[in-house]
Amino acid sequence: MIDALLRPPETRVDYLADAVRALSVLSVVAALVLLGPVETALFLLVLLGLLVSRSLSVLPGFDTVYGLVLLTAAWSSVADLYARISWWDLAVHCASTGVLAVVAYFLLVQFGAVPAIQRPHRASRSLPVVVPLLVLSLGLGMSVLWEIGEWWGNTYVDARIHVGYVDTMTDLAAGGLGALVGGLCLGSAVRRSGALLTAPAPHHTGR
């Protein structure tokens, strides 16, 4: 993972994804100078998430989308868009959970928790079905943890954090939908390639 994290960008897609990461660094600086510690911590978490995706060598193009979604979610909180636009919270829940669940799946591949098939194999016929189900499960699990975090924050940190039965259920539904869409997209990529992407091989540099 360290080798993948430190490798230089090679394609336009790589450069675009790194440009989004640069925006996250600028967001951290802006929060540190102009906003406050809570916002700074928020953007540091976003930056950490973008470094994780780079270390996993995820699908080309997905890295950029993932970064833009996380940055949008963070800046939406800073700009209070969730309160200003009634449907924005559900839209961001859907998109964020979708991309985070896919990254979580790649993380499981990296550590060998799910199969990584290098060549077309008869077992790969089931992967376009299994992959979406696994990503959906990851997304639902992450959504539940998020809602527990919101409850904890409302109870022990700030009562202004909105919680409630309707809010919780709609957030879970939106997160599940996003994870399902993300899983179907990843399953489609598996179907087209005939095999699941493997964990990235170490990158060796000459001396």
pLDDT digits (tens, 9 = 90+) for 86-129: 899 999 999 999 999 999 998 988 888 876 654 444 555 667 77
Give the CA dihedral 47, 50, 51, 53, nearest 10 degrees. Answer: 160
AA letter at 190: V
Place of tokens 């376009």: 128
Sign of CA dihedral 138, 139, 140, 144: positive
Q: What is the pTM for the complete model shown?
A: 0.84
Q: Where are the alpha helices (DSSP H) in 79-126?
A: 81-84, 88-110
Structure confidence at residue 197 (pLDDT): 54
Q: Return the minimum-mean-pLDDT range out of 4-13, 131-140, 165-174.
A: 4-13
Q: Rounded CA gap, 1 and 109, in Å?
A: 12
SS3 58: coil
In sequence order, which residues have a C-beta less than 8 Å from that of residue 107 and are 6 or more positions away?
A: 52, 56
Share of the chain above pLDDT 70, in %: 81
